[in-house]
Structure 1
């Protein structure tokens, strides 16, 4: 049966996976989005359902920036493992430069408060539970602090106390940024798999093995075991993998990859989660995908896999909580949003912070997961003070975004289209309207975003177009992907008028893409 990569589209990088009985659980990086660490469940490795987030409280995930000039802080590269009936997720919060893990008896939570790894000078931590009861903590060293490479120590899993001095166990094969380590035991061998080459087009997966968890580790002579570098394959920058063995004994790898816009090297959807089969050579080395290359379509005889279905999402905000696809940008201010103040609507209370600031804007967004898609939302909003604003944004980070919004200036009710491209901020167009309720629409293709609204007469009027290239990772920087966001702001002061969003519709127009469904 055939399946198509990515298995989880849009900004879902650094996937880590574990298997419990007949179920699979997967987590990915979330950076500065809250709640943090999206958590997925599957029974067949291809069709994934997001069941929540691991970090749902500000006490678990503080995101107030100490260094405001650095984009994409927050959660880097979580690893999920299951041992003795308990789930563990370990990660690094770059915002506070601390590594920690949390645990839960059930994946749906509640997850514990963070157990910090005091004194650990590294990132991308991973846990390995050995057969003799020892627990190994494997991680990448911070650049410029000590030896560059993969270090390892032992910890007490109950307290988080580090039990031994960290040892450098492998420097990799010579590629830059050796990181994302995972330690496995297969038969009598310990395998250490890492990412190298940086998380750009030179990204790759390499592996080594040893009879001892501290090495010395023998490098696979056929490294890298996964890389699409220097090819024209549709998926690029493949790396940061994790291995899992299925119930039928087959092996698989989940890994990140990007899909550049055709005829360019630019990408804006973010690094996505992909899946490839793993074969073992006679020499005892894993081979990922098609002899180390990652394809879009795989034809496998495994009974685990099912087809995918078309994607159409309609959020009516009728529940008392947001569905798991929604995020805030950093920790939302208390009382800044509600699903109950006006039942059936998402209500946002604009604050002084704007989308251009490094604080926490009043922002509720979800990932863009398809190049070609249509988005629409109905806004009920009658601003009374100059500067009060609410609308729909296409957002990469505070320095790169487009938005269509409703506002008021000198008593005039306006709909505007704005671009923020680095240091260039410009309102491209304003149209005076006399509507309390307005429908905003967005049409996305691989090259552009087209913004429009419905007039009082029900006619669609285009107000602006923005290129996807300006919001690409190569231009905007950072490690995330595009979000479609509903937002409100007072532009330097608190709004006196709440913004009410009645619905949010998202329809994919990519014929080859679908939505995973259990």
Structure 2
């Protein structure tokens, strides 16, 4: 499949479910980290030398001592983070909403790991924590939340990031412009000012970036007269929900911003299915305020095609588990992957993110197994090979429907899931895609089910995550011999 240059205004730099980006630079190297919600390992981190091509170098939270699991609820776990570099160390601060001990901070000299055991900021309850250092070395924690004394809103305090101990009483800073869901603070010291950027309007169509500045971290704060400085709300642009941004100064002395956004498709009100992705914009400073240029960068997207025969001694970084961990649901044998039903009450799925709008994926099982397109336990489509039969099924809310079935073929069982152009008889029938579920019989694939993809969209299922492809066991155990994924447009 040929790849052509695209505009950063229309294509993510990190595609698929990679929300809440935070960025920092060390010399010529850029590092980008994300939230990951219930999936473990958590907090994927990427490296780049040019801001547009990124390679995953690790998962920051890769030990259960760093990431306490919850009860399997969707859209829990690891929320919006901040990634920073100071004094020769990288710091990653985030919220695990499953954990009641406050914001968690881990650090490392090498961003590829290993990252430290977490310290907790018990006095800072809430979400979306940020760290910022002044020229005097003082570190400031800013977050969205509340304190035990009842203080609420966008809060700030001086902090020792190595112990998690606050060095001052929390105080309120700028509270935004009055739009809904004022959150996701990031503070930057630039020139003569401290700049505070927020996400407002909610992470849906009204999502916006707003700015204020002050001569001191405590304020008083002056709001940007052009707020919101960046938003695609009420436009017909193909990328929507733009917000939750973070700034970085480039090695050339210019400025850029990463932000989350979605690519909705289908008839109104449209549907986004990949979750919130990470995009890049240029930033100019005009009269002391940022001006975003979403179309500044052009690049050729990286090829997302991959094949895994599971012969490696280590998990590829792409594989995560839903409300569990890879080692709890699967074992690498050197000749495939043995899947099993976990004892932790999780969905029992080894997952990888869908990264394209049109794609095809195949899972090759020795005999029995299940292959799902997954949003959460109430919203999935999938194929199951069990007791000599292949079933194509869909789970929508409380209902599970059988879409079709066929006898299982002899020998290896190859199951295919594809996202294709929708077939519709009228306008309202156009969803974001059609999902086709097939099994290989001989040299051909036989379609067992086809369903509108809108039911696996955030607009229908709700939540903060995106589509995943999941492998699971049936009857206690299954062996998968290979997995293949490729974009088809």
TM range (shorter): over 0.9
Gaps of 5+ in 2: 421-431
Measured in 2, the distance between the counterparts of 1:320 and 1:443 equals: 29
- Counterpart of 1:313? 306
Gaps of 5+ in 1: 354-358, 383-389, 511-518
The equivalent position to 2:371 in structure 1, one of 385, 392, 411, is: 392
| Cα pair 1:19 1:25 within 8 Å, conserved | yes
The equivalent position to 1:75 in structure 2, one of 65, 78, 89, is: 78
Instruction: Say whether residues 1:270 and 2:255 are aligned partners.
Output: no
Measured in 2, the distance between the counterparts of 1:47 and 1:433 equals: 42
Measured in 2, the distance between the counterparts of 1:64 and 1:2 equals: 39
| Cα pair 1:365 1:486 within 8 Å, conserved | yes
| Cα pair 1:58 1:331 within 8 Å, conserved | no
- Count of aligned residue pairs for this structure pair: 470
- Counterpart of 1:387? none
| Cα pair 2:328 2:342 within 8 Å, conserved | no
The equivalent position to 1:56 in structure 2, one of 62, 74, 77, is: 62
- Counterpart of 2:338? 347
Measured in 1, the distance between the counterparts of 2:203 and 2:409 equals: 48
Q: Does the residue aligned with 2:231 lie in a helix, a strand or coil?
A: coil
- Counterpart of 1:285? 289
Instruction: Say whether residues 1:422 and 2:415 are aligned partners.
Output: no
Measured in 2, the distance between the counterparts of 1:473 and 1:144 equals: 34
Measured in 2, the distance between the counterparts of 1:332 and 1:216 equals: 46
Deviation for aligned residue 1:144: 12
| Cα pair 2:124 2:147 within 8 Å, conserved | no
| Cα pair 2:189 2:195 within 8 Å, conserved | yes
Measured in 2, the distance between the counterparts of 1:30 and 1:165 equals: 30
Query: Judging changes above 3 Å, is the alpha-carbon distance between structure 1 residues 335 and 275 closer, same or farther for their aligned structure 2 residues?
Result: closer
- Residue by residue, what CA displacement relative to the aligned partner does 1:354-389 show, whole Å, maximum 9, x if unpaired? xxxxx322211111111111111211135xxxxxxx
Alignment of structure 1 residues 441-480 onto 2, 5 Å: 441-445=416-420, 446-455=432-441, 457-480=442-465
Query: Judging changes above 3 Å, is the alpha-carbon distance between structure 1 residues 26 and 56 closer, same or farther for their aligned structure 2 residues?
Result: same
Deviation for aligned residue 1:311: 3.5
Backbone CA RMSD of aligned residues: 1.9
- Residue by residue, what CA displacement relative to the aligned partner does 1:295-343 show, whole Å, maximum 9, x if unpaired? xxx355xxxx753344421122121112111110122386531112xx2
Query: Judging changes above 3 Å, is the alpha-carbon distance between structure 1 residues 307 and 92 closer, same or farther for their aligned structure 2 residues?
Result: same
Query: Judging changes above 3 Å, is the alpha-carbon distance between structure 1 residues 193 and 501 closer, same or farther for their aligned structure 2 residues?
Result: same
TM-score (norm 1): 0.87
- Counterpart of 1:516? none
- Residue by residue, what CA displacement relative to the aligned partner does 1:9-32 show, whole Å, maximum 9, x if unpaired? 111111000000110000011000
Measured in 2, the distance between the counterparts of 1:256 and 1:444 equals: 23
Deviation for aligned residue 1:436: 4.1
| Cα pair 1:451 1:465 within 8 Å, conserved | yes
| Cα pair 1:14 1:28 within 8 Å, conserved | yes
| Cα pair 1:123 1:142 within 8 Å, conserved | no
Measured in 2, the distance between the counterparts of 1:185 and 1:352 equals: 48
